[in-house]
Structure 1
Amino acid sequence: MTAAPAPLPSPIRNWLSTRGWVLHPHQRAMLDAAADPATLLIAPTGGGKTLSGFLPTLAELTAAPRAGLHTLYVSPLKALASDIRRNLQAPITEADLPIRVEDRTGDTGATARKRQRADPPHILLTTPESLALLLSYEDAPRIFAGLQRVVVDEIHALAESKRGDQLMLGLARLQSLCPGLRRVGLSATVEDPAAIARFLACHPDPCRILQADPGPAPDIALLEVPQRPPWAGGGGRYAIPAVLEAVRAHRTTLIFHNTRAQAELFFHDLWLQNDDALPIGIHHGSLSREQRSRVEAAMVAGDLRAIVCTGSLDLGIDWGDVDLVIQVGAPKNVKRLVQRIGRANHRYNAPSKARIVPANRFELVECHAALDAVRDGTLDGDPRGPGPRDVLCQHILVVACAGAFDADALFAEVTTAGPYAGLGRTAFDACLDFCATGGYALRAYDRYQRLQQRTDGRWQLRDPRAARQIRMNLGTIMDTDTLKVRLRGRGGAPLGEVEEAFAATLTPGDTFLIGGQIVRYEGLREMTVEVSRRGGDTPKIATFMGTKFATSTQLSDRILTMLAQPDWPDLPGHTRDWLALQRRVSHMPRRDRLLIESFPHDGRAHTCAYGFAGRNAMQTLGLLLTQRMEEIGIGPLGFVATDYAVLVWSVDPLTDPAPLFQGDDLRAGFETWLAGNAVMKRTFKASAIIAGLIDRQSPGQRKSGRQATFSSDILYDTLRKYDPDHLLLQITREEARRGLVDFGRIEEMLARTRGRVDHVVLDRVTPLAAPLFLEPGRVPVQGAGAEKLLAEAAARLIETAGLPA
């Protein structure tokens, strides 16, 4: 039974009136749609999305006060849940509404979590992981009794990862516990509303899509910088004087970077050039919670003039009086750029102001393409595939923790979740069998026997004590193997975390950057990196993994369209001259043809392939090409890849590149390469952890990254040998193809070029290829080519010494 549309009770009307606020049309439309089974609201940043989502709840609870949980709010970020609680508390307190709001995330204390289970608030703000944990308890039916509405904020961000799949399975469970549950999705950046609506709805129920007036166009342009961008690199250091000038001219500026390491470097250099001692902070996911909280509090208080940040501040948090956003480096994704732009002038009737700083010369072209896309209102995004089965396996274990279940009923429930609407019964049963036995090769091991079937046909945990272990390992976020960093000494302050692999390279006395300060490595104690502030001036750089973005397919298409133009009047003169020279001495890359350049340099033959398939795919292409070149005897020595090209150097020149780019041969080479590659083991580890085969944590201890990798490597090798069609190996192959190596983008490149190759042979490096020689991340190839060079060098040495051959 669904509720009737909720009119606004007088306390809320009076509160709006005292503020001088009038509801926007889309907010009224949300009230009218209050009884719909699912509603997706797409409204610009600052358009009151949060209030839109909660208005029906506030109206219903004010008109008919009641005890128990009424509305569940789910966000991708813990900080966003806390921010929403602060914002919701204003109307509730000022209008004296009988409503209790609390948040429940990984930061919530044990006492509060226990109380919330016993006495849930009217509105609970949480994350997908905390929701899964709540659903795993035996008293979940009592906790969620009477739940009327679920609000999913920033739904586009959740839909792009396994956290979204986990959430939709959780909502399917909630729908079974609470028939008539209504769903609301909120977002400012949705490229395919119909797809997100299908993702959100309880299949086959419909989902109403409401689109608000987009408001004024953003004020967005490249930051004016007197210096030319460098030919390569990603830090944007050359633009720091211009960035500081922009910071001085605004109240609060967010300076976004694509990686945590780049944010640390930029913050360090920015501080060194900050002669006016402007208060500037840094915020990213590898910093300690305490340090992030201090920065957030200073932002809210308006005490900071600028914050160097990463995706940790991408989403809808309203921090202080931000009136300028600066994006350093090409955004790689138009949707992400729009999201970041919206952090400035967080008001519906005010245009957001943003400036972009290209980190290098080619990024200048990419940034212009991104600007055009924003002005055209065109977003990007790849179609979602079916829901991943490792997440489904975890969900089956979550359900089992809460009590015995019927397989037929659970299958029917799971297929109401958008990502799993097309799941077949055979695939579901394979996941159930994996959860019960571990699969054919592992069923003899007692530790993998997690479920058993009762005489009444229902399934339950084989050992009820396993529920604690399952709960400790819930979640789909794959933490990089990291170690905590703390100041040395009793009660030393936590600073954040660094990768375990990076920590392994440190020796006492080494220095590195974290939180914008240079620290000195003193030693490792109980899996904690101990440091002092005696850092000096020249740091090493902590290798924060974070998220490494690849240029989206749609943005790559725009770049190729730009390059095909006869002239580029909107680009700076130095960039126009560079592109014009490329056109004169070689060809310009085209969307429907693959440009391959061959030229000598520094005594080596070089081949440059312009695929515009994104960094991960071009890196994979480099590995496949060098493998094929090794097979035909050219002697590849190494390669380097960017988002748009891969450059290979070899002993002998490549005379006919076309056979190397035949689709069937590339696919066969890819499968052969992938089967024994470390990428597969890394992917297997992630899926095995999500599916519950490998534990990240156990009571009183946590595995180090090396321990977990060692365990997963043994399992991977065992399954490959004895059970090559094991469910987890199937999942691993699927995940590897679309994830770490992005082979789908190579397939897309092959489809649009259809074997059409332009091979240009030149006597020198070409203008577009030149920046690749300056790129970091060169990958050496050890093979016949390297052996041939060594043999030639040895022969020359023997001849020079006058010795007989």
Structure 2
Amino acid sequence: MNREELFDIATNWFTGRGWKPFPFQTQTWTAFLQGRNGLLNAPTGSGKTYALWIPVILDYIKNNPDYKTKHKPGLKAIWITPLRALSTEIKQAAERVADDLETGLTVGVRTGDTSASERSKQKNKMPDLLITTPESMQLMLASKGYESVFKTCGAIIIDEWHELLGTKRGVQVELALSRLKHINPRLRTWGISATIGNLKQALEVLLGPNSPALQNSVMIRAHINKKINVISVIPEKMDTYPWRGHMGLHLVDEVANIIKKSKTTLIFCNTRSQCELWFQALLTKYPEFAGELAMHHGSIARETRQWVEQAIRDEQLRAVVCTSSLDLGVDFAPVETVVQIGGPKGVARFLQRAGRSGHQPVQESNIYFLATHAIELVEASALRRAVKETVVEDRVPYLNSWDVLIQYLVTLAVSDGFYPADIFKEIQDTFCYQGITAEEWQFCLNFITRGSQSLQAYDEYKKVEIEADGKFKVNSKTTALRHRMQIGTIVGDSVMNVKFLGGGYIGSIEEWFVSKLIPGDIFIFAGRKLELIRIRNMEVIVRMANPGAKAVHASWMGGRLTLSSQMSELIREELYAANTESMSRELKSLEPMFTRQRKESIVPTDNQFLIETFKTREGYHAIFYPFEGRYVHEALASVMAYRISLLSPITFSLAYNDYGFELLSDKEIDMQQVLDNNLFTPLHLHTDLQQSLNATEMARRKFRDIAVIAGLVFTGYPGKNVKTKHLQSSSQLIFEVFRDYEPNNLLFQQAYRETFEHQLEEGRLILALERIQNQEIVWKQCEKPTPFSFPIITDRLRERLSSETLAERIKKMTANYMK
């Protein structure tokens, strides 16, 4: 069958459904059938899935002309998705085409949710088209005889590649691809990406920088002018000061009105705690939403999440309050409207969420932005411009993740074993390990066979044996079992299952939150008021509580997002525009706030860096405004406090948010001395960071995750998980052994590198200091706190006060400062 005949089959199928293929879809079909590799860049809801399932099936038809009568068994293609929740949609799309064209092709799913019986069936007979996740893919590589399974596979498609790039899960995918390409050199590799800035590099990471596949690759971009309407929710009466409502709950009426006007609305929150609070707030004030309002986040039971997803498709729900658990590619045609509560902190995330509305190529997307306090309206203005100019963040890929490589080597040793010389060549072809040296490779081999230099006395670290012919192999069944159970790179705090006394799974919450509760305590989780009865075998046993009882909301660690570098730059540019005539609707609505800000201080221009000082009953405040995101400000606050203390002994308490940071002390800072001594220099930054922050403590915490991924510590068997504090103490002990006896250990060094590069964003910090050095530093001595400073002060207060007392305190402070 020639290409024209194959295309006729596909276009006739499209026509039968009342569709017409887009040019990007036919371009992808052509490139795939030519045997090329590539990256498809297309917006959410544009038909990306059919752009690649169709050519996979056409390729089978081409190689098997009697496809309607004779079925060729064996795995034909693998589709890797970052989220298990997406697998049902992807499976349905593949089955639709395969069944309608009478190919006889079977479609299967293999994720953490796949039952043991289904996995057993797949072991005996693989489906033709398999949908899986990076972790399940590694588990397949840990199975004996995996090469015979994969040798018939002609294509691998990595969906939502922008979500995996710049994560250790992405590194897992790179390593799996390096193996599969060796098993079948004719394997076609394709990535699908919706929103990403560094597309060229994304393709390079996918295929490998020195790979012949890169030479035979193509980048296909969908040019679909999908209109995204960004609508800011601006209340009729603007507060003069920007401190109201860190959760935005004072705008619950505005959100209810949006829900009433739309068929289906998704309300995105940045954290699970905020999601729970908003769900309760809407139901409490609008009880008529009962039965039509649902909640969806990653800690809720899978069955409940799946029910919610299906109820959206069936138009049974008016609204769903959700987190990033609904960010990615689930196709909900009925969704008319999206509400974003609070700044999404990144353009890509915002576009992804906007794309959930009007999830069809020709429809417009409507996204409402609800600012939780006034300065966030500047973010709304910045996001509208970003959408218009299609400014999207880069994803920075990992380099030299030794923990992931060590895990991968043990995975290969658990299955059929490996010969180091062969695998070394494959690993050198990946982006992550392109610079690996012979010494580093030897360290990894020694680590899995001898347990590294300082752990050689302990047999539990000698996982892999070297056989007579030089093959590296795991022969211990216990080691193999433990390793398979711990495959993966997502390391979080220990979670505990929440169950009713009479049975019935509700979801999972983090151990640290449960540890603060005692039997009889009442907490709100998954939209229910629950009373804790007891904790048993890592299970939280509960019963329904009295509806009128006082309760605390379940909360999760690490909930706060930080501004991306592109988002920071956009916000600064919007803020500078407040000094010009060309102001957006959002900036105009903030005029009362800007007027008040100028009364005490200034609104900086593009060549100014603002510092404000004032005194309150708490002490002397110095506020700095880089507008670079909370992680950069956390590091910068520590460095500045350290550098100032070198000039004269002084003790500070620090506070920071996305806009700036505060140094609070009981004696006044000599700010002139700070300016005269050029404390904003990027020189000696690395050393000052190490001195000012407890870099060792931060690296120790980072090392816990590295130790889990590398298999140095075991997280426990199902239902008998090792407690977080025990994991922490075990990994700390190893960290200290490496620090004292083996400082050149690659995993030990990786903990420091990741602390500085990923947590403290040292590179971004240097750029921020270089920018400040080229600006005029404007120091304003104020009589009282300014609108810009207020969110930073209240951020410090919220660490100490409950939300109720915080609201009362803010009210008093507002009245005082408005006098």
Q: Is this a same-fold pair by TM over 0.5? A: yes
CA contact (8 A) 2:614 2:781 kept: yes
- The residue aligned with 2:440 is 427
Instruction: Tell me how far 1:80 sits from its aligned partner.
Output: 0.4
- Structure-2 change in CA distance of 1:572 and 1:554 (3 Å): closer
Instruction: Tell me how far 1:523 sits from its aligned partner.
Output: 2.2
Task: List aligned pairs for 1:757-772, cutoff 5 A.
Answer: 757-772=777-792
Distance in 1 between the 2:4 and 2:82 partners? 28
- Structure-2 change in CA distance of 1:545 and 1:6 (3 Å): farther
- The residue aligned with 2:506 is 495
Is 1:31 aligned to residue 50 of structure 2? Answer: no
The structure 2 residue matched to 1:134, chosen from 128, 140, 143, is 140
- Which range is displaced more, 751-760 or 684-693? 751-760
Instruction: Tell me how far 1:755 sits from its aligned partner.
Output: 7.2
Distance in 2 between the 1:17 and 1:746 partners? 54
- The residue aligned with 2:674 is 657
The structure 2 residue matched to 1:238, chosen from 250, 271, 281, is 250
Instruction: Tell me how far 1:637 sits from its aligned partner.
Output: 4.4
- Which range is displaced more, 711-720 or 748-757? 748-757
Instruction: Tell me how far 1:580 sits from its aligned partner.
Output: 4.0
- The residue aligned with 1:786 is none
String of CA shifts for 1:94-146, please: whole Å, max 9, x gaps.
33331100110000011111211221111000000000000111211111121
CA contact (8 A) 1:449 1:462 kept: no
- The residue aligned with 2:803 is none
- The residue aligned with 1:122 is 128
- Which range is displaced more, 385-394 or 155-164? 385-394
Is 1:526 aligned to residue 547 of structure 2? Answer: no
Is 1:697 aligned to residue 708 of structure 2? Answer: no
- Structure-2 change in CA distance of 1:755 and 1:690 (3 Å): farther
Instruction: Tell me how far 1:415 sits from its aligned partner.
Output: 2.0
Instruction: Tell me how far 1:410 sits from its aligned partner.
Output: 1.0
SS of equivalent residue, structure 2 residue 585: coil
The structure 2 residue matched to 1:217, chosen from 200, 212, 227, is 227
Distance in 1 between the 2:691 and 2:4 partners? 60
- Structure-2 change in CA distance of 1:587 and 1:13 (3 Å): closer
CA contact (8 A) 2:465 2:474 kept: yes
Letter in 2 for 1:450: K
SS of equivalent residue, structure 1 residue 635: coil
- Which range is displaced more, 525-534 or 305-314? 525-534
- Structure-2 change in CA distance of 1:194 and 1:392 (3 Å): same
String of CA shifts for 1:413-439, please: whole Å, max 9, x gaps.
012223333333333332222222222
Instruction: Tell me how far 1:464 sits from its aligned partner.
Output: 5.5
- The residue aligned with 1:620 is 635
Task: List aligned pairs for 1:632-643, cutoff 5 A.
Answer: 632-643=647-658
Distance in 1 between the 2:614 and 2:509 partners? 41
CA contact (8 A) 1:411 1:425 kept: no
The structure 2 residue matched to 1:473, chosen from 473, 486, 492, is 486
- The residue aligned with 2:727 is 708
Structure 1 residue runs of 5 or longer lacking an equivalent are 781-805
Instruction: Tell me how far 1:603 sits from its aligned partner.
Output: 5.2
Instruction: Tell me how far 1:152 sits from its aligned partner.
Output: 0.8
Distance in 1 between the 2:606 and 2:137 partners? 45
String of CA shifts for 1:331-379, please: whole Å, max 9, x gaps.
1100111111111111111111111111111111112111110111111
Distance in 2 between the 1:623 and 1:532 partners? 45
Give me the TM-score of the superposition, normalised by structure 2. Answer: 0.90
- The residue aligned with 1:576 is 591
CA contact (8 A) 2:75 2:129 kept: yes
Instruction: Tell me how far 1:695 sits from its aligned partner.
Output: 1.6
String of CA shifts for 1:246-304, please: whole Å, max 9, x gaps.
11111111111111111111111011122433501100001111221221221222111
- Structure-2 change in CA distance of 1:572 and 1:746 (3 Å): closer
Distance in 1 between the 2:263 and 2:100 partners? 28
The structure 1 residue matched to 2:384, chosen from 361, 371, 375, is 371
CA contact (8 A) 2:615 2:784 kept: yes
SS of equivalent residue, structure 1 residue 480: coil
Is 1:90 aligned to residue 100 of structure 2? Answer: no
The structure 2 residue matched to 1:552, chosen from 560, 564, 575, is 564
- The residue aligned with 1:682 is 701
String of CA shifts for 1:54-77, please: whole Å, max 9, x gaps.
111111223414210001000010
- Which range is displaced more, 360-369 or 628-637? 628-637
Distance in 1 between the 2:505 and 2:295 partners? 15
The structure 2 residue matched to 1:601, chosen from 610, 616, 623, is 616
- The residue aligned with 2:771 is 752
CA contact (8 A) 2:531 2:542 kept: yes
Is 1:732 aligned to residue 751 of structure 2? Answer: yes
Distance in 2 between the 1:121 and 1:723 partners? 48
Task: List aligned pairs for 1:54-65, cutoff 5 A.
Answer: 54-63=53-62, 64=64, 65=67
- The residue aligned with 1:562 is 574
The structure 2 residue matched to 1:336, chosen from 345, 349, 369, is 349
SS of equivalent residue, structure 2 residue 320: strand
CA contact (8 A) 1:286 1:544 kept: no
CA contact (8 A) 2:449 2:462 kept: yes
Number of residue pairs the alignment of both structures matches: 776
Is 1:101 aligned to residue 107 of structure 2? Answer: yes
- Structure-2 change in CA distance of 1:449 and 1:87 (3 Å): same
- Which range is displaced more, 46-55 or 529-538? 529-538
- The residue aligned with 1:789 is none
Instruction: Tell me how far 1:664 sits from its aligned partner.
Output: 3.7
CA contact (8 A) 2:614 2:783 kept: yes
Distance in 1 between the 2:717 and 2:764 partners? 38
Distance in 2 between the 1:47 and 1:354 partners? 18
Instruction: Tell me how far 1:224 sits from its aligned partner.
Output: 4.5
CA contact (8 A) 1:589 1:610 kept: no
- Structure-2 change in CA distance of 1:600 and 1:98 (3 Å): same
Distance in 2 between the 1:293 and 1:580 partners? 49
SS of equivalent residue, structure 2 residue 368: strand
Instruction: Tell me how far 1:147 sits from its aligned partner.
Output: 0.3
- The residue aligned with 2:40 is 41
Letter in 1 for 2:236: P
Instruction: Tell me how far 1:740 sits from its aligned partner.
Output: 3.0
CA contact (8 A) 1:591 1:752 kept: no
- Structure-2 change in CA distance of 1:723 and 1:7 (3 Å): farther
- Structure-2 change in CA distance of 1:409 and 1:27 (3 Å): same
- The residue aligned with 1:22 is 20
Instruction: Tell me how far 1:681 sits from its aligned partner.
Output: 1.9
- Which range is displaced more, 672-681 or 59-68? 672-681
Task: List aligned pairs for 1:774-793, cutoff 5 A.
Answer: 774-776=794-796
Structure 2 residue runs of 5 or longer lacking an equivalent are 801-819
Distance in 2 between the 1:777 and 1:737 partners? 28
Distance in 1 between the 2:702 and 2:244 partners? 30
Distance in 1 between the 2:159 and 2:167 partners? 14
- Structure-2 change in CA distance of 1:561 and 1:584 (3 Å): farther
Give me the TM-score of the superposition, normalised by structure 1. Answer: 0.92
Distance in 1 between the 2:419 and 2:309 partners? 46
Distance in 1 between the 2:346 and 2:755 partners? 22
Letter in 2 for 1:532: R
Distance in 2 between the 1:676 and 1:641 partners? 18
- Structure-2 change in CA distance of 1:592 and 1:691 (3 Å): farther
- The residue aligned with 1:318 is 331
- The residue aligned with 1:185 is 191
Distance in 2 between the 1:552 and 1:80 partners? 26
- Structure-2 change in CA distance of 1:97 and 1:607 (3 Å): same
Task: List aligned pairs for 1:381-530, cutoff 5 A.
Answer: 381-461=394-474, 463=476, 465-487=478-500, 489-491=501-503, 493-530=504-541
- Which range is displaced more, 436-445 or 663-672? 663-672
SS of equivalent residue, structure 2 residue 759: coil
CA contact (8 A) 2:198 2:395 kept: no
Distance in 1 between the 2:433 and 2:4 partners? 32
- Structure-2 change in CA distance of 1:779 and 1:627 (3 Å): farther
- Structure-2 change in CA distance of 1:271 and 1:123 (3 Å): same
